[in-house]
Copies of this chain bind each other. A is one copy, B any other.
Amino acid sequence: MPDLCALLQPRTIAVIGASTQPDKVGGMPVRLLSELGYAGRIIPVHATAREVQGLAAVPSLDVLDTPADLAIVALPVSASLDAMRQLARNGTRAAVFFTSGFAETGGDGIAMQAELTALAQAHGITLLGPNCLGAMNLRERVFATFSPMPLSGLPPLGDVGLVSQSGAFGAYAFALAREASLGLSHWVTTGNEAGLHVADVIEWLAHDDATRVILAYLEGCRDGTRLRRALAAARAAGKPVVVTKVGTTEAGARSAQSHTASLAGEDAVYQAVFDEYGVFRAHTLDDFFRLGYVLSRGRRPRHWQPSAKEPANTVTPVALVTVSGGVGIMMADQAEALDLPLPPMPEAAATALRSAIPFASTANPIDVTGQIVTQPEVLLDAIAAAAQSPDYGSVVAFLAGGVGAPRIWPGLQEAVETLHRSGTAAPLLFSGLVDDEKRRWLEARGALVLREPAHAVQAVAVLARAAAQAAAAQAKPAVSAAALAAPDLPRDTTSLSEFDAMQWLTACGIPTAPHGLARDADEAVRIAESIGYPVAVKLCSPDILHKSDVGGVVLNVADAQAVRAAFAQVRDAAPYHGSPARFDGALVAGMVRGWGELMVGVRRDPVFGLVALAGIGGTAVDIFRQTAFGLAPLTHARACTMLRASRAEALLCGHRGHPAVDADAVAEVFVRVSQAAAALGPRLDTLEINPLIVTAQGVVAADAVVTLHAGDGIND
């Protein structure tokens, strides 16, 4: 793990290219460090000036006896490599390069950046940038940035670590955090990532005691292993990670031979990674900061459990208290969408509410109605009763404009204070208009305030998930599944014939349609009769993946005569494939009778490695694009989630009068397919089973494609 201590907790900071003008790029860090109370030693480095902004300057680090912890380099690109050599001579431990003109400009910049990186590596210098806006440690007042923003005010000190590839976004995020009173611990922008990646910062923050929540802004990831390690570290530390990931690059021409090569954008793979590590993904900046606020400030629900509908989800019972029936319904719709249970109000509290307001609704949402204008105590009693009831994990109260209203606020304060002191009450989340001072008062007592009622309900689901993930991190790590011993495949093979693929799958313990390879028509009949009619007869050639396109597939073959005709047809089909195609024979396979088609596959992502995909097969693959993704090898839980997310499960649970099929067993087939692919290691390019036919006895592979890299495969 990269050590960021010298970067983020330096005792001495040298500023190379320090400027006597405080608002220049080279002057700003000196100004920020001086004015905003950095307690360590600041060493301006200036070619001629003896003093920079009131601090003694040196002409070079070479005159120092001791190494600097951190050097901030604000020099033109032409002087950067010399500066790096100077750091090396000094023994400086970490460097921030603001300098632009490196890889982002292409051409020579790429080579210069490579040299900068090499120098840093050779001398053990932790490198941030180049072309970055720098970093801050707000607790220790380290301002290694040329952004003037800290001068106009700092966000409160807090437990949110923020890391951004983009400097402009980082600056904006700093301003938004300040405005939203989001408490920050660290702020880091990684720019060109010649040294440190966003992933490295996440990993360091995962181990940093001052940080409880990590916000990361990502434009792309070049090193999947590094990101996965970082996210695993955060998960193990029980620290929620919120990611905004923008940018969708073309998945490119990879796996062009596969049936469904065009199925997924790269984004689905990122999502699979985020799912794997429990990352909270934000699709807008609003979501990004709101998730940060909720996770940083929000108390976790008192209790939670896996969702009955979707065991991979976490749910918690919530009380919805509202002064507006309609907004109550809106919140209930949201709760239903998030699968949050809404148990009814405890009977005693319900009776009390009804006796005070006869037409109040004591179901959940608990609608105290507009009567609270004249009977505010009824509202407060309802909130208190819900918060004290063990039936609820959290309480969300929509008070419209009433949160801070003079008739309500004093009583609300008393109620919130009492519940807070009790130490056992459910967390409170308010939705409504309230001024900043009252909001801070509520937040200091563990209550969240969100303007949008739907967001308050979402916040409960987010906090339940964070609580469950933190608890899971405390528990023993799951034992990883035993690796599957898949039979070896010839080293020179780059794609398997369907027969070879089916044989290999069978050997891996994956259920396949009964099948055999026939070299001639007589053998085809023998195989068909041993399987039983009807059968499918398919061309077997490692050169032809899309057999049906060349007339190489005959289905529903009903008797011996038809088998002979079919054999002749597929044998003759082979030469039609442009160049002469090899003819291995004809695959004769039983026609599996089922009522639905699934697909499952594994393919190699250039950044993140093996990715499994599964869903409804056949025509629906193209039309509905509901294929679900997961990192291979899959866990059983992930495979179950994929079954649900792709809606494939609908085919398994007594669909249209068909018998129900054991979904766990189907998920286990997904797991096994992913393990089989993983067992091939770097050799695997694509493995796809489509269709995987749903029958009363479970799923059966009826077609398979396997493509490989020759030899030892790609290096990954």
Contacts and interface: CB of A to CB of B under 8 A. Distances in A.
A165 B326 CA distance: 8
Contacts of A400: 168-169, 171-172, 175
Contact of A149 (B283, B370, B401): B401
A664 interface: no
A478 interface: no
Contact of A657 (B286, B549, B616, B655): B549
Contact of A246 (B169, B176, B327, B401): B327
A327 B247 contact: no
Given A284-B452, A623-B651, A370 B167 contact: yes
A622 interface: yes
Interface string A203-237: 00000000000000101000000000000000000
A632 to B, nearest CB: 25
A166 B219 contact: no
A455 B327 CA distance: 23
A620 B622 contact: no
Contact of A172 (B247, B432, B655): B432
Contacts of A596: 619
Contact of A624 (B171, B172, B283, B626): B626
A258 interface: no
A169 B285 contact: no
Contacts of A105: 358-359
B172 A326 contact: no
A326 B626 contact: no
Contacts of A172: 324, 327, 400-401, 432-433
A interface bracket (residues with beta carbon within 8 Å of B): 35 or more
B616 A166 contact: no
B624 A647 contact: yes
Nearest to A647: B623
A333 B647 contact: no
Contacts of A326: 165-166, 168-169, 217, 219, 246-247
Contact of A324 (B106, B168, B655, B657): B168
A620 B626 CA distance: 12
A453 interface: yes
Contacts of A531: none
Interface in A302-351: 322-327, 329-330, 333
A283 B457 CA distance: 14
A102 to B, nearest CB: 10
A662 B554 CA distance: 30
A599 interface: no
A81 interface: no
A650 B369 CA distance: 48
A656 interface: yes
A133 interface: yes
A452 B286 contact: yes
A271 to B, nearest CB: 14
A454 B329 contact: no
Contacts of A333: 246-248
A388 interface: no
A100 interface: yes
Contacts of A451: 176, 285-286
B325 A433 contact: no
A435 B603 CA distance: 50
Contact of A359 (B104, B248, B327): B104
Contacts of A246: 326-327, 329-330, 333
A3 interface: no
Nearest to A101: B359
A172 B404 CA distance: 12
A385 to B, nearest CB: 20
Interface in A616-634: 616, 619-620, 622-624, 626
A520 interface: no
- Nearest 10 interchain pairs by C-beta: A168-B324, A172-B400, A175-B401, A166-B326, A246-B330, A219-B326, A247-B329, A623-B650, A105-B359, A246-B329
Interface of A: 25, 100-101, 104-106, 133, 149, 165-169, 171-172, 174-176, 179, 217, 219, 244, 246-248, 283-286, 322-327, 329-330, 333, 358-359, 369-371, 374, 400-401, 432-433, 451-455, 549, 595-596, 616, 619-620, 622-624, 626, 647, 650-651, 655-657
Given A25-B374, A284-B330, 15 more contacts: A166-B326, A168-B325, A168-B400, A169-B327, A171-B400, A172-B401, A172-B432, A174-B401, A219-B329, A285-B453, A286-B451, A616-B623, A622-B655, A623-B650, A624-B626
21 contacts: A100-B370, A101-B359, A105-B358, A133-B370, A166-B326, A168-B322, A168-B323, A168-B327, A169-B326, A171-B400, A171-B401, A175-B401, A219-B325, A246-B330, A284-B330, A284-B452, A286-B455, A549-B657, A619-B651, A622-B656, A623-B647
